[in-house]
Structure 1
């Protein structure tokens, strides 16, 4: 991935657990979006995105999450966000995007649904 950004994916049933660490910005957002799309294309309609190590997300990163949500919903699934830090949560809040996602405090909570 770009710069200090890492994205790891593992599958659990029909869910993909995607762990993102670092910063999503204009240089890395497309790569994040593509990884999320790949999960849906492989049959994971439930995306669980662990954001507990995501330090920054600009509007292009938000757009990557929104695009992944649309792709998952079209396949009958959803996107769940875990451990969203205050700086990242602010981007979702000021744009009104919080309403399109399910937020969880812990990964165990998100996966246990």
Structure 2
């Protein structure tokens, strides 16, 4: 897995993920998320466009970050998931806890509301 961050407006970070997110690469995601959670109000859009695979270990990194994000008044949303990942997010119930958008621009636009 490869992760990069771009900032859109000062308060929204887009975390771009590429490759495979699994037990072997989840540590990288934890490190990147830990840095993002240091922001006073973490507002994170996770761009899944380049992510080809994700297992439960990878998804757990987002779930464990939710408490910190919520306690600081922030949010995390997902965008650009391929059909496999979109189904996975819904199947495991993450759609109830995180907003899921078809495109990154949609998620950023929703943040402006």
**4+ aligned runs moved over 3 Å, structure 1:** none
Structure 2: runs of 5+ lacking an equivalent: none
Q: Indicate the residue corresponding to 1:11 in structure 2.
A: 7
Length-normalised TM-score, structure 1: 0.87
Query: Which position in structure 2 is the counterpart of 1:65?
Result: 62
Residues 73-113 of structure 1 show CA distances to partners (whole Å, capped at 9, x for unaligned) of: 12111111001112222322222222111011111111112
1:108 and 2:105 matched: yes
User: In the TM superposition, what are the counterparts of 1:66-81 in structure 2 within 5 Å?
Assistant: 66-81=63-78
Taking the aligned partners of 1:103 and 1:21, their CA distance within structure 2 comes to 18
Note the residue ranges of structure 1 that are not aligned, 5 or more in a row.
none
* Structure 1 residue 16 displacement after superposition: 1.0
1:1-113 to 2 correspondences below 5 Å: 5-12=1-8, 13-113=10-110
- Count matched residues: 109
Q: Deviations over 1:9-28 (max 9, x none)?
A: 12231111110011000011
